[in-house]
A and B are shown apart, each in its own frame.
Chain A
């Protein structure tokens, strides 16, 4: 019986394969799927990719830089997590970057990168990314590809609906996922309803230097604020935030926050907020938050603790916020390139809800409200609805647009990207993801002019897609060509951490601004030296400061005596190189910290507290030159009671 079954099955299978083959010719132009895909992602040695993709590291806390379409990884930019490779958060210069009102926090959960814009188009100056856990927004400068600013968000917890920018990068926003008592106080969790509040934060960005400033916050009801996108074109001046848990539950959320058939998309008129501020309607309230800035001239970060924030109360200020009913705990909240359509993806729904900005304005004009939530008007679902993409898949999460009239939505449960037509709301194509896709990204997606060539789907689960690596396997990104009518899967590549979301931009916009070296004459680090004649070692009590230089292939000084057990030894190391791509590293035996990795013209510092008498070596950790292995030095450590004076030298036998 069994043999027979196998026989029949094999026959069937064969038939199946053949019939499949007949069907899988595809577009003649494209030829065989496999080989054609390889051509499309092949970037020959020495050639450049068309796009930069800045892919969030999720729980790694960092931001990865990839090239598209090749999927090659260029750099992992440390943002919220200490990175021993680059001494981020280990060296004395960058430790203040991770300072918060809760003290030094060595990790966060980075989520949504977004690229700065001018006139509604990505300009490639900065990337912003949010830290979800201890609410923060970071700014990465795309001349150095380094994190240069981190601002903490007070009155917030779980900074999820962040860090999206407005058309001219007037603001980068943050919205709290968890509502909390504001100001924080000792009350029972059972008193959630009415006592817990949410805030939406607007951080201004200086058009010259990108400097961030928490301009104002809007006090909102105690819902959970999930994602956000800015209006653009006609809807510029508005910001849209999805909400769930309008039930205001505080326990067993999977049940209790899914009771209402509809939650809301909150439409915030931030230009109105600016008017109210001018009229003095905002109230300063106490708040404690850190603002950390890295200075490219001093190569050092400073952390400033702020103590107040300007608050606007949405319940008291009319015309500031309106609520758009949206089914089934909407997660993604996306705006199409024209700014007319606002898509709410109810994560427990099979449908996509699309609201119309024009209809929203008309309903507001006509004052057609269904009611209010804590004084904030609720519009009628039917009045603002533009259309519904029906039964498109299971578990819709996020939508991006190609700028050619199509939306692309990810479906987590049915694990696919679905392409649909804006305006007719019909599904026109679907492509499977391997597996469980979260966000997707079209380069330039959050702008008036998406580039529209590729979509990158980011998957949470890969199971059998790669060689196994024990219970923990990589998450992945999948690249689809969307230039034709049908989406075509081109590439499947592993990512760093969780590729939560990404932002992409044409490479030529960014690469021309990329810095090659830091100019030595502009180095204003207090312990910098500009030539080898300035090297020295000083003592101040038990603090020893070494003003050290590196150049191929030696440290200066490389022999130091007079250090004692119990000293705190600061190695301030300046890389005197002024040549592209010649960093030096340094590391000392027994130092309770990471290496330093010092770019040309830069100064960095690590601290070593010698505990044992002896002569201890240090060496260059970055393969810098043909004589890299000769790049080393010794420090003699004497007993605490020793009277040996400090001395230092290079090349003196």
Chain B
């Protein structure tokens, strides 16, 4: 079943991204002339690279986790897949499904709507740091500069490390960075 989910995700990615490109061109097109999408459109980036040998990327890790289906759905809705497979390094703070559930009712559904894509992307980018630091190492930073262009505060409480108010629950090293599972959605100021 897990494999099926993965495949579902992969296919939906192809779909989403394949269409992204065409949207750009659709605006100035009225022709009905049959053209084929070139091979380029099929290979819209590294997210679709089948790779059994290299260490999983931060995206692979999120996709493979049953606790992060909401996050993965959000990444897909915001079309940020290719960003998350970039050479990085990328440090992703991955809120669990429970963390998303803790948001006021209707928030997630609202964000997943196409018209809110930019807002959603902004929030997701607020969970990404260009860097790759283990939990203990994060303690060295007073704050982290996020891909949203905003900073989030780092706090240490006993053994626990909090970033932007969210507690790091677990950490999974990735081929292109690291995924820190967090217990809350980190909301940006803007």
List A residues at the B interface (Cβ < 8 Å): 1-2, 5-6, 9, 12-13, 16-17, 19-28, 31-34, 252, 254-255, 258-259, 261, 328, 348-351, 391, 394-395, 412-415, 429, 432, 434-436, 460-461, 463-464, 486, 489
Contact = CB atoms under 8 A, between A and B. Distances in A.
Contacts of A434: 43, 45-46
B130 A24 contact: no
B35 to A, nearest CB: 5
Contacts, number: 144
29 contacts: A1-B1, A1-B4, A9-B7, A16-B18, A19-B22, A20-B37, A23-B22, A23-B25, A24-B22, A24-B29, A24-B41, A25-B30, A25-B32, A27-B28, A31-B35, A32-B36, A33-B38, A34-B38, A348-B130, A350-B125, A394-B147, A413-B90, A413-B147, A415-B82, A432-B45, A434-B43, A435-B87, A461-B87, A463-B46
A488 to B, nearest CB: 10
Contacts of B131: 254
Interface in B9-53: 11-12, 14-15, 18-19, 21-26, 28-38, 40-41, 43-46, 49
Contact of B45 (A17, A34, A435): A435
B55 to A, nearest CB: 14
A350 B124 CA distance: 13
Nearest to A328: B145
B149 interface: yes
A429 B27 CA distance: 13
A321 B12 CA distance: 54
Given A34-B36, A436-B87, 9 more contacts: A24-B22, A24-B26, A255-B141, A261-B151, A350-B148, A391-B118, A394-B147, A415-B82, A432-B44
Q: Is the interface of A mostly helix, strand, loop or mixed?
A: loop
A20 B11 contact: no
Given A27-B29, A349-B149, A414-B86, A486 B18 contact: no
A21 B37 contact: yes
Contacts of B7: 5-6, 9
A465 to B, nearest CB: 8
A366 B39 CA distance: 58
Given A255-B141, A394-B83, A489-B40, A26 B29 contact: yes
B141 A16 contact: no
A170 to B, nearest CB: 38
Contact of A28 (B19, B31, B44, B87): B31
Nearest to B5: A5
B122 interface: yes
Nearest to A23: B22
Interface string B116-141: 00100010010000110100000011
B36 A21 contact: yes
A435 B149 contact: no
A391 B122 contact: yes
Contacts of A17: 18, 37
Contacts of A12: 11-12, 15
A16 B19 contact: yes
A364 B103 CA distance: 50
Contact of B8 (A5, A33, A486): A5
A13 B15 contact: yes
A213 B81 CA distance: 50
B4 A414 contact: no
B88 interface: yes
Contacts of A489: 40
Contacts of A2: 4
B133 to A, nearest CB: 8
Contacts of B125: 350, 394
Contacts of A258: 145
A152 to B, nearest CB: 33
A460 B36 CA distance: 29
A328 B38 CA distance: 38
